[in-house]
Amino acid sequence: MNVLSRNARVLLAGVMLLALQGCSSLKESDYVPKSPETLSEWMVEGALELRADGIKSKSHFYFKQIDENYELAILGDNPVGKPKAVILGNIYEPENESLDVIGGYEAEKVAQHLMSVMKAGSLSYWIRGLPATADAKITQQGTNLAKKIEEEGWKIYFHDFMSVTGNYKLPADIKFNGENKNLRLDIVRAETGYLTNPCGQNLTDEEIAASVEPSGGGDVVRTLVPRDGSAPLPRWIDEADFCRQLRKIHDNQLPDSRVGLYGPDSMMWRLSGMALPGSFGAGRALLLQVAHPWVTAGIDEHSVVRNDPLGRARRTFYHILSVTYGSMPQVMASANQVRDIHEEIEGNLPEESGAFARGSEYRANEVNAMIWVHATLWETIVHMYEEMEEPLTQQEKDRFYEETKLFAMLFGIPESALPADWNEFMEYNRAMWASPQLTVTPAAMRLKNDLFKAQSIWMVVPMWGQEIITSAELPPRIRDQYEMKYGWWQKMNYGWMRAGAWTLGALLPKNMERQAVYHEAMARLEGERLGGINQFFIEAFFDKERLVN
């Protein structure tokens, strides 16, 4: 039995790898990375090994720069520990570097050894693959990518680059060779912004302070879903509202920067980390979203989704996963990027659509529409988790819902506009499912058809399966509007898909029960770089070697 189980696991892993080849149809074109010269606040962390003057020094470290000021922290044996010694300086005054010793003699020796062979300020440039002086000799290996730099008595070789937030590529492996000295930096991860300010918007403190959060009270569900079937009153979110909400999280509810918005003890990581519920529920959440005419119009008129529906789904889940599993700077970067994209999406409905009149104005950054998109994600996660994994208690659902409010706030939705608890949240979802606010328009039908259209021969079976799964799990009224069949044939196929999923879950190794981005986030918490099969999954679907690490 053990041999059979082992062989079955190997076979299943092979089948999954083969199926993921279909994701090659999702590949994005190669991009030209932005110049790292534009970085004003950034940090990297990793390990260093220095040999000079007959001495060998090793330590984990991080290097952080905010504007012209930098610090190189010596961490010792713990990659996520507190600094034990810190070299401080200003890139415009490299001769005035100072050393602050916090944690003992060994860390002080490593810092002094490093300071004896180079100015830490020069690393501000070299770590980004840039020359530190005008006298440097540079060999390029691509646009904004250095292969070799010679200066200050060093020959610096750049091996491997990592793609990081903001469309930058930074060196992951740097080797320094000099006369009777050499240094190696193994960079594990990087942050490229939002280390000090969560907004990144051109607003003064006075403008943000003048933004007043709406007061709560009243029947929130009936405000969002009027009983007479009419559209709710639109409520726009502007830059000041957005930044006020971000600052509320950043100042009042900010967890450890490395952990991010939630962390491994959260209900969010517990529920969204499981691979099967997320993969079974993705189509359901997306079709519930585009059943809202505003969402449909925004996608149909302002997005390339018609030509690349799976690419749009990938970009959507890229930001969802970044906010859920990213470090706080990654969370803030993603929230700001989504807001900037949404700011460009506005227009007028081309036709009467359920509760919404022809010609009525829509915007992506509108409270009611964003609450609906928000709701489809979290109701679907709980629905599919209970279907695929185990029932949740009322206390667990309430705790999960409280965590989702942080996600909503990141996009400028005030807490007062949200249902108060899980039961009221579900009352809102049921009201929306029955409301003419959800009306499948011809544009939504086209988006549905495009979504399930296989982009390559490898995707025929996965898309067929996803359409049956989505039909099974949609609320009946919405399923009927999409003209999706769910008769005996679909029920039979869905039954064996569910059985196959349970069998797959039983046979696969335990570390494959959770989706790859969860494992990447856990690697970040431990100060490590993700590799192996989970790295392959991320690259196969997202065309990025890293998402949240």
Mean predicted confidence (pLDDT) in 356-372: 90
pLDDT at 404: 92
Q: How many domains does the chain have?
A: 2
Residue type, 470: T
Point out the domain boundary residue: 191, 218, 246: 191
At 30, is the pLDDT very low, low, confident or very high (cuts 50, 70, 90)?
low
Full residue range of the structural domain in which residue 428 is found:
205-457
- Which are the contacts of 363, defined by CB distance < 8 A and separation ≥ 6? 234, 236, 342, 345, 346, 369
Question: Which of 54-58, 248-252, 261-265, 357-361 is predicted most confidently?
Answer: 54-58
Count of alpha carbons within 13 Å of 217, Cβ hemisphere only?
A: 3
212 lies in the same domain as 112: no
In this structure, is residue 170 part of a structural domain? Answer: yes
Torsion of CA 401, 402, 405, 406, to 10 degrees: -130
Backbone angles phi and psi of 219, in degrees to 5: -90, 100
Write out pLDDT tens, residues 261-318. 888 989 999 999 888 888 889 899 999 999 999 988 888 776 655 566 566 667 777 8
The SS3 assignment for 369 reads helix
Using an 8 Å Cβ cutoff, are 105 and 117 in contact?
A: no
In this structure, is residue 311 part of a structural domain? Answer: yes
Question: Which of 18-22, 173-177, 495-499 is predicted most confidently?
Answer: 173-177
In this structure, is residue 501 part of a structural domain? Answer: no
Q: What tokens does 448 get?
A: 């549905």
In this structure, is residue 166 part of a structural domain? Answer: yes
In this structure, is residue 524 part of a structural domain? Answer: no
Please give the radius of gyration of the chain, using alpha carbons only, rounded to the nearest integer.
26
Q: List beta partners, residue 383.
A: none
pLDDT at 362: 84
Mean predicted confidence (pLDDT) in 108-112: 95
Residue 195 CA to residue 332 CA, distance in Å, equals 9
212 lies in the same domain as 186: no
Write out pLDDT tens, residues 236-254. 877 777 777 777 766 554 5
In this structure, is residue 428 part of a structural domain? Answer: yes
Point out the domain boundary residue: 168, 191, 214: 191
In this structure, is residue 450 part of a structural domain? Answer: yes
pLDDT at 112: 96
159 lies in the same domain as 212: no
Point out the domain boundary residue: 162, 191, 220: 191
The SS3 assignment for 187 reads strand
Residue 433 CA to residue 475 CA, distance in Å, equals 7
Work out the angle between the directed axes of helices 488-507 and 275-290 (0-180°, nearest 10): 140
Using an 8 Å Cβ cutoff, are 118 and 134 in contact?
A: no
DSSP string, 419-439: -SSHHHHHHHHHHHHHSTTS-
Residue 187 CA to residue 519 CA, distance in Å, equals 19
Using an 8 Å Cβ cutoff, are 367 and 358 in contact?
A: no
Write out pLDDT tens, residues 122-163. 999 999 999 999 999 999 987 888 999 999 999 999 988 988
Question: Which of 25-39, 145-159, 217-231 is predicted most confidently?
Answer: 145-159
pLDDT at 460: 82
Neighbour count for residue 505 (Cβ, 10 Å): 16
pLDDT at 409: 87
On average, the pLDDT of the chain sits at 85
The SS3 assignment for 196 reads coil
Q: What tokens does 231 get?
A: 């559209």
288 lies in the same domain as 254: yes
Mean predicted confidence (pLDDT) in 335-350: 86
Write out pLDDT tens, residues 425-454. 999 999 999 999 999 999 999 989 988 887
Using an 8 Å Cβ cutoff, are 416 and 215 in contact?
A: yes
Neighbour count for residue 94 (Cβ, 10 Å): 15
